[in-house]
């Protein structure tokens, strides 16, 4: 899939229909993620691909109520890292930035498979770490809902039914990009 097409197709959608997630697919998207850049090639990201019924159930318990739609996702990916897995240069820590770079590539690879990848912040991190045996000192930064998009939005709340139809907007160039000098 063309890079720009994948980027334009990546949307935080919420209506899913069930699909089987094959191990082969997980390997392939992981290998696309791991090719990301990281400080001194530290590769600080850790991904738990959650697709088993029992593990998914445990993780569903940790979602905040506005993310209950994610219970219909066929897979949840827990993305975690910690400071010690990456460079710290002066007071600059790189683990979250580098994990973000790999996660962007992961999500684009999932989109290339014709699936939705929707990263969420609304979950109880302590409970989710316990559910997946993620060590306490890891920062569980996001759960990504992965699934096949459904044209049936009827299970979603009213607000989410509307957002499902509309692309989210972006800031104009002048508000986030500058030439030669910061002008924010």
Site for a copy of itself in 121-160 (CB under 8 A): 121-122, 125, 132-135, 138-142
Q: Please pick, from the candidates 15, 25, 108, 146, the single residue that binds a copy of itself as defined by CB under 8 A.
A: 108
Q: Which helix (H) or strand (E) holds 117?
A: strand 116-120
In the complex, the smallest distance separating the C-beta of residue 32 from a copy of itself, rounded to whole angstroms, is 6
Q: Please pick, from the candidates 50, 63, 116, 146, the single residue that binds a copy of itself as defined by CB under 8 A.
A: 50
Check: CB of residue 155 under 8 Å from CB of residue 72. yes
The answer to the question of residue 14 lying near a copy of itself (CB under 8 A) is no
The answer to the question of residue 72 lying near a copy of itself (CB under 8 A) is no
Count of Cβ atoms closer than 10 Å to residue 147 Cβ: 24
> Which of 3, 154 has the CB closer to a copy of itself?
3
Check: CB of residue 74 under 8 Å from CB of residue 146. yes
User: In this structure, what token pair is assigned to residue 167?
Assistant: 């692309």
Q: Please pick, from the candidates 13, 25, 73, 119, the single residue that binds a copy of itself as defined by CB under 8 A.
A: 119
In the complex, the smallest distance separating the C-beta of residue 176 from a copy of itself, rounded to whole angstroms, is 6
- Rounded distance, CA 109 to CA 32, Å? 7
- Rounded distance, CA 21 to CA 10, Å? 18
Of 17-46, which residues contact a copy of itself (CB under 8 A)?
Answer: 23, 26-27, 30-32, 34-37, 39-41, 43, 45-46
Name the residue with tokens 């994610």: 70
* φ, ψ for residue 168, nearest 5 deg: -70, 150
In the complex, the smallest distance separating the C-beta of residue 19 from a copy of itself, rounded to whole angstroms, is 17
């Amino acid at each position: 899939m063309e890079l720009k097409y994948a980027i334009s197709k990546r949307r935080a959608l919420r209506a899913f229909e069930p699909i089987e997630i094959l191990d082969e697919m997980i390997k392939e998207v992981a290998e696309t993620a791991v090719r990301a850049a990281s400080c001194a090639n530290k590769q600080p990201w850790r991904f738990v691909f959650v697709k088993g019924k029992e593990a998914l159930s445990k993780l569903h318990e940790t979602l905040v109520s506005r993310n209950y739609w994610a219970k219909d996702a066929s897979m949840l990916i827990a993305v975690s890292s910690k400071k010690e897995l990456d460079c710290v240069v002066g007071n600059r820590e790189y683990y979250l930035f580098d994990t973000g770079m790999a996660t962007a590539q992961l999500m684009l690879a999932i989109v290339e498979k014709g699936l939705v990848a929707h990263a969420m912040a609304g979950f109880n991190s302590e409970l989710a770490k316990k559910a997946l045996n993620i060590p306490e000192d890891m920062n569980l930064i996001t759960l990504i809902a992965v699934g096949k998009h459904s044209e049936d939005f009827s299970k979603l709340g009213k607000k989410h039914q509307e957002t499902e139809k509309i692309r989210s907007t972006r800031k104009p160039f002048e508000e986030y990009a500058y030439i030669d000098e910061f002008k924010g």
